[in-house]
Amino acid sequence: MKKKKRNKRAESLLQLFLLLGVLVLLNVVGHRLYGRLDLTKEKRFTLAEPTKEILKNTDDIIYFQILLEGEFEPGMQRFIEGIREMLDEFRAYAGSNIQYDFLDPLEGTNLEEKKAITAKLAERGLLPRALIMNADEYSERVIFPGALVSYKGRELAVTLLDEQLNQSSPDQVLQQSNAQLEYKLANVIHKLQQRIKPTVAFLEGHGELEKQEVESVAAALQPFYVMERFDITDNLLIPKRIKCVVVAKPTKPMAESHKYKLDQYIMNGGRVLWLVENLSSSLDSMSRHGGFMALDQALGLDDQLFRYGVRINANMVEDLQCNPIPLVVGTDASGNAQNTKLFGWPFFPVVTDHNKDHPVTRNMDAVRYQFAGSIDTIKTPGIKKTVLSKSSEYSKTTYTPFQVNVNSVRTTPNPERYNKGGQILAVALEGEFTSAFKNRLTPATASMIDTMSQLENKEQSVATKMIVISDGDVIRNDIDFRSNRALPLSAYKYSRQQFSNLDFITNCIDYLIDDSGIMLARSKDVQWRLLDKKKVKEQQGTWQIVNMALPLLLLMVFGFVYNFLRRRRYGY
């Protein structure tokens, strides 16, 4: 019996040691091997692979100051909680290198301090926004919906809440902003980790938009890129240090030698954002003479773009989904203008048909165009062509030459004539491009090449990409001639509506320059399962009664059944 007891004790000790050994082994394996299970339908907590790589490569503390703290409406509170969850998810891959705090920058400050803080944050690109706290009593609170992110002595600001635009309700804005959190937060980390800012150059030499006309875009890109103007007529080639060239609305023909320099820049992996209008358009002539003749500008870019895979047609797109322009509708006895009225102008399309699967236009709101032409894609081996934006289905095209007369808006348009369907206005091209000068070098161009010892003629590019937009005014901001200052690109001066032009252009630049794949995070879609506000308001009282009465009723039923069974079992 004693021997049996000893054996049983030894067996128990052995089982205990084995159990402890298994637990230690599981802890060691669990420490080395990491895994997470995302059960959400849209994989809300599954980070994109490029985001994971960026986080794993962090070698110092990245500190986030989220400028949102306090009591908010449920929708805003849910958005703030989404920011916290995303940063916690970042910690799962970067560990303690991700640090964050939520704060209210205006808390405990007086009026003068508030003004100073607001001005300082505005300089960093974080603009104040009035947030309605109580719709019934209409109380407001000023917030700065963004973050200051610091890393190794560098600091960048990032706006986390998108603008509330024409087509979006507040809940949609919050949902779209929540879907973009991973991209915005990971992108600012990626830019902070870059030791050298990439260079973006606006091309000059062919009547392109002036510096002040693209000031709004340049200011938005300035924190992340080196912005410069590059005159192709004064340089033998476009240097490789320039990561992206912006061709913004040329109005003069481009010489073959200049086209060749641009072509060879692309052959060597350069990226180009083309904003090209084939037909002439003049807002000055519209205001002074009531119209203009739309003629082909003969820019000379047709053959080059054709070889790359697109054709910008010599026409203008007219769309019933459009912006208005002001016209005089009354005069006094002296013939002076009394008042004006806004009329829909089909030559100013409002574009909402965006590619929902491409990172450039994912969750993009309306973009305003002016005098845009239509684009055809050409069958080009090895080139992937992706349509980014189209006009509405109520569109038509008018080919040159024709007279644009502003007074035509006074006549109600016939919808039956706008039957050409959506016209392509923006296309992304990716792949290995064939040189536009392959087997067709002119003697003058060949002679120029002989003088450029540092340039090797290439007929096939390395893998690269470009975006073609058939409207130069998409990037052009208006100018306040009284103060001689640039107006925000996203604002339309006549109706004061907000559009996504700035986001569209900055997304294009980010996409063209990005080689890390971080733009893939923009394709994430996060769906909030929101309650129907109308039903909530109508049935609020009913559900309050149910929530208060039902627990009491269940408790009474439970007590009655319990007492009944107890008496039945133990009663005499």
The three-state secondary structure class of 505 is: helix
Provide the strand spans (E) within 70-145: 98-102, 129-134, 139-143
CATH number of the domain that residue 407 is part of: 3.40.50
Integer Cα distance of 400 and 373 in angstroms = 11
Position 420 in a domain: yes
pLDDT tens digit sequence for 525-569: 555 555 666 676 777 888 888 888 888 899 899 888 888 888 877
List phi, psi (to 5°) of 429: -120, 135
Is the Cα dihedral 476, 478, 481, 486 positive or negative? negative
List, in sequence order, every beta strand (DSSP E) within 86-128: 98-102
The answer to whether residues 485 and 479 touch, using CB atoms and an 8 Å cutoff, is: yes
Domain ranges, residue 128: 49-191
Residues near 287 by beta carbon (within 8 Å), at least 6 away in sequence: none
- Residue that is last in its domain, among 145, 169, 191: 191
- Residue 22 falls within a domain, yes or no? no
Whether 410 is covered by a domain: the verdict is yes
Q: Are residues 262 and 177 in the same domain?
A: no
Q: Helices (DSSP H) in 280-352: which residue ranges?
A: 283-289, 302-308
Is the domain of 146 the same as that of 268? Answer: no
- Token duo for residue 239: 């240097």
Measured in degrees and rounded to the nearest 5, phi and psi for residue 358 equal: -95, 140
pTM: 0.80
| Pick from 69, 75, 66, 67: nearest CA to 132 | 75
Same domain, yes or no: 300 and 442: yes
Question: Domains in the chain: how many in total?
Answer: 2
Q: Which of residues 142, 175, 191 is at a domain's end?
A: 191
Q: Both 434 and 313 in a single domain?
A: yes
Q: Is the backbone peptide bond immediately before 415 cis, with ω within 30 degrees of 0?
A: no
List Cβ neighbours of 566 (8 Å cut-off, separation of 6 or more): none
CATH of the domain at 183: 3.40.30
- pLDDT mean values, one per 10 residues, the chain (572 residues): 65 79 78 58 72 90 92 86 92 92 90 89 83 61 89 90 64 80 91 90 95 94 93 90 96 92 94 95 72 89 95 95 83 61 91 93 90 95 95 94 83 88 96 91 71 76 96 93 86 87 94 86 61 70 84 89 82 60
Dihedral through CA 3, CA 6, CA 10, CA 16, nearest 10?
140
**Do 137 and 242 belong together in one domain?**
no
The reply to whether 541 falls in a domain is no
